[in-house]
Structure 1
Amino acid sequence: MFRWMIRKMTNGVMDTMADHYMKRMMQDPYTENVFSMFAIMQKLTPRAIIEAGIRAESGKVIERTLGSTIVLSDWHKILLNPVHMFRLPTQDDVPIQTGVTIGPQAKKPLNLEIPILISGMSYGGAISLKAKAALARGASIAGTATNSGEALFINEERREAKFFIGQYHRGGWMNIDESLRQLDAIEIQLGQGARAAAPSMGSHQIGEDLRITKKLKPGENSVIHSRIPGVNKTEDIISLVQNLKNKYGVPVGIKICATHFMERELDVAVQAGVDYFVVDGAEAGTQGGPTTLQDDVGLPTLFALARTVQYLEEHGVKQSISVIASGGLTTPGHFLKAMALGADAVYIGSIALIALLQTQIAEALPTEPPPQIPLYLGKLKEDLDVEKGAEHLANFLKSSVEEMKLVAYALGKTDLAQINKMDLVTVDRDLAQVLQIDYAGFPPGKQKPSPGANVTPGATEMMDPDESLHLQ
């Protein structure tokens, strides 16, 4: 009886309030209408309103976790072409090869079991020691490499990593012989998709352990410069690449933020003799980057990758320089399409962290956001289960590769590396022109350019007329 009375009273109050606000929304002028906030949010977007509030409160640069929310790479408009009769699918008892070699011309090439690598996420600047260990262990289980990010050399990470790529970076902490000689590949980090080559500094992000290791005084900034210390002209970059190659023998690559000046940047990279090149698109993630750098700077991964591969092919060096696509790649479909467009491998970051956390996200929600678990300064970083995280990451990588192999069967391939632009089609005519792949509206060999466009032929039009019958 008592519960019935409480429920009746509660329902009555709620009904009265609902009636009151419904009348206000339907009768009040917009300047007094409570619904106007919904219109404001629709016009300005909730993100812009929240970020305006944060700026108004602090008066400082605001940094958003995991990168831009803007995705301009239209991977969903690109599809892979299965075969059935004119060319048969691959026999199901034939194994699909998944291995990749990074830097095939290096003295000591990096041979991996799968073409999905873990991208650079630095200890201290981004994530915790536990998170770094989990990423390295998970990558090792899956037979792939992990990347140091803009950090110093960490023995714990090196022990967990079967294959370890270290960044020679603008902070300088990895740029010493003692560290470099322990790497399986050296990546010269000149910029990244989420913040280009903008400098970064902040003593508030340095714990006591890192302050001691980096020999920083109390309050002294830990600085990521806009340039690598000692690199003041283009010739210095060329010399740096050549010196590292000669001294260590492992693949030496360059990573930059994708830019409309890709071809000019590649001129330098090719002249330097890099073993691999990382295309880090504007959709790339970061621990925390200024929102303008994330949203308004750089080139989308899809377009930057296509232009990079086209440049290397035109200059006859694609077979000697490995290409790693990075930035906003989250699904096996993305990975395959990037490889079909010419990437030898892909880097994943944000999605790798999500896979690593899996159900551990529940430790944070609903009171804290999930990044509080893997971040170096996260309130819940000690709650991260390294073994469970490594297992979940390895499972994600295994699952992704298994799906990619199934697609290879459907395409009539025996190696993921065989998938190429002739296996792609797009529903967007502009993408067909830019990527030099077929448009879905016309059959192979009968591609028609967009009105007024000066178009390079689609992929199948560049084949011999009978070649399509014999593709492997």
Structure 2
Amino acid sequence: MFWVILGAGLVVLALAGILVWWSIPWLSRRMIHHLLTRPMSDTWAELYLSMRSTPPVDFLYSSLRANTGDKVIRPLGSARPAHGLDDLAFVPAQLARRPVLETEPVELAVTLGRHRPRPLTFSMPLFLSGMAYGLALTKEARLALATASGEARIPLNSGQGPFLTEERALAYRYILQFGRWDWNRDPDILRQADMIEIQVGQGAMPGNAVIATPGEVGPEIKRLMRLGPDQAPIIHADLYLTRPDEPAALRDVVDYLRQIHPEVPIALKMGAGNELERDLDVALDAGVDVIVIDGTEGATGNAPITLSDHFGIPSLMALVRAERHLRITHTRDDVDLVISGGFREPGDFLKAYALGADAVGIGTIAMFALAHYQITEAVPLYPPTDLVFYRANPRIPLDVEKAARGLSNFLESCRTEMTIAIRTMGHTSVHQLNPQDLSSLDPEIARITGVRYAGHPWAHQSPATPGQKPSEKAPHGIRKAGGLHRAR
């Protein structure tokens, strides 16, 4: 019986194959005739052209809007292309300038708020950006970030969430955000910060209110925020000191924080917009020590896509404009300049430093490093972010030890590669980096940044910063500490 069934099956398959082979030419002719003679709206061509004019992601957004009638939230920043750092390349030191021997030590440590009694010094020009407990990340993710901060000796930013005593104890240095919300205003909490960052906006959500529903956060979050069971966390649109309906001037907020914690730097965090220079002037007049700018690539866990995709300017443009404005106003030595939003790997960090940043904040890439050792527990059924994003009812618990190890390894790898890159440029310190260590692969980016265009011979171009000369060269062609734009 088995052989009869097998033989019958083979005959059926053979007949089916013959039928398919015979019908393919006929079906092809019919489909092509149908496609070329009927109205486009009656054929599959309309679907193809619709997908060209309306990308699948926009179709997804429209479907979500049509389904709920509510705003569409997308984490991890904008997917729209922006002027980035990929059009810049480092200039290697080989003969005209000599590279540094691999045995030479390289200085990566940086300091923010250097005019304060307790400046913020850390081991390399990186820090972990604000990603709020409860409003963005789980408690386990925050503790893993803090553990990696301690191991890498870089600061951790609290974000907009409630203060966690455990993460403060684990972090190497702690940046506490003070902003447009009611929690974390206790002077005892503020005095535990190594730097206080006044938050007026960020790249994906520049200066707008965020109102969660009571069910979006659990009892512990509400307890730390000092909210009742039916109260919702609210991040208001503007700064205030006592009442949300009575906005306060930035200078008043700075003065208030100085009275509470006079020794540490006071920073300002804002999203980058085309009125950047005017915003900078307000910050300078208020007397902040550090200015943190988040480009439009900056991400958050709960940004409406209209704000994320259609507001602000890219990090590269924001950094160049801010650094230039500080020099023009002769305030570059008064404040430190920090950039965040879209930075992913060591080359990005060093390019930002060469263009004038004193440090770079990272967020999204740090979350992926946290998820590394457990990513197979999420995919393919869930996205990797399920391991770190806060939900009142979490689906996949994050292992703090594994997550911290993944991020610590990532940061150590970045430290190693930055050291190699700095030696390859002929330097022994990150502070020696300057625009002449870069060339631009795109004429427009060269014009925006003032970096020399790689398509023309070096000798035929003017320096990146008109009116300023390269610093003296030390033996073997190594530039002395202190770039073209810094006084240290």
Question: For residues 187-231 of structure 1, what are the alpha-carbon distances to aligned partners after superposition, in whole Å with 9 as ceiling and x for unaligned?
Answer: 000001001011110214222222333343444321110012338
Cα 1:299–1:460 shift into 2, 3 Å: closer
8 Å CA contact 1:170, 1:228 repeated in 2: yes
* TM-score between both structures, scaled by the size of structure 1: 0.91
2:227 equivalent to 1:213:
no
1:267-286 equivalences in 2 (<5 Å): 267-286=281-300
Q: Which residue of 1 aligns with 2:58?
A: 48
Paired amino acid for 2:233: S
Quick one: which of 303, 308, 319 aligns to 1:294? 308
Q: Which residue of 2 aligns with 1:236?
A: 249
Q: Which residue of 1 aligns with 2:118?
A: 108
Quick one: which of 166, 171, 174 aligns to 2:181? 171
Consecutive unaligned residues in structure 2, runs of 5 or more: 481-488
Q: Which residue of 2 aligns with 1:471?
A: 479
Report the Cα distance in structure 2 between the residues aligned to 1:362 and 1:333, rounded to whole angstroms.
28
2:102 equivalent to 1:92:
yes
What is the count of residue pairs matched by the alignment?
463
Question: For residues 357-413 of structure 1, what are the alpha-carbon distances to aligned partners after superposition, in whole Å with 9 as ceiling and x for unaligned?
Answer: 114121111111222111111765552111011011011111112111111111110
Report the Cα distance in structure 2 between the residues aligned to 1:252 and 1:245, rounded to whole angstroms.
8
Q: Which residue of 2 aligns with 1:260?
A: 274
Larger Cα-atom Rg: 2
Q: Which residue of 1 aligns with 2:84?
A: 74
2:163 equivalent to 1:153:
yes
Report the Cα distance in structure 2 between the residues aligned to 1:310 and 1:341, rounded to whole angstroms.
10
Q: Which residue of 1 aligns with 2:389?
A: 375
What is the Cα-based RMSD across aligned positions, in Å?
Answer: 2.7
Q: Which residue of 1 aligns with 2:483?
A: none
1:51-450 equivalences in 2 (<5 Å): 51-203=61-213, 204-230=215-241, 236-248=249-261, 249-377=263-391, 380=394, 382-447=396-461
State the secondary structure of the residue aligned to 1:289. coil
Consecutive unaligned residues in structure 1, runs of 5 or more: 448-456
8 Å CA contact 1:444, 1:460 repeated in 2: no
8 Å CA contact 1:259, 1:298 repeated in 2: yes
Cα 1:460–1:274 shift into 2, 3 Å: closer
Report the Cα distance in structure 1 between the residues aligned to 2:15 and 2:249, rounded to whole angstroms.
74
1:25-36 equivalences in 2 (<5 Å): 26-28=32-34, 29=38, 30-36=40-46
Cα 1:14–1:383 shift into 2, 3 Å: farther
Q: Which residue of 2 aligns with 1:453?
A: none
Report the Cα distance in structure 1 between the residues aligned to 2:397 and 2:225, rounded to whole angstroms.
26
Report the Cα distance in structure 2 between the residues aligned to 1:103 and 1:11, rounded to whole angstroms.
81
Cα 1:304–1:10 shift into 2, 3 Å: farther
* TM-score between both structures, scaled by the size of structure 2: 0.88
Cα 1:23–1:301 shift into 2, 3 Å: farther
8 Å CA contact 1:140, 1:162 repeated in 2: yes
Report the Cα distance in structure 2 between the residues aligned to 1:145 and 1:352, rounded to whole angstroms.
13
Report the Cα distance in structure 2 between the residues aligned to 1:93 and 1:308, rounded to whole angstroms.
36
Q: CA deviation at 1:186?
A: 0.4
Counting aligned pairs with the same residue, the percent is 33
Q: Which residue of 1 aligns with 2:484?
A: none
8 Å CA contact 2:373, 2:406 repeated in 1: no
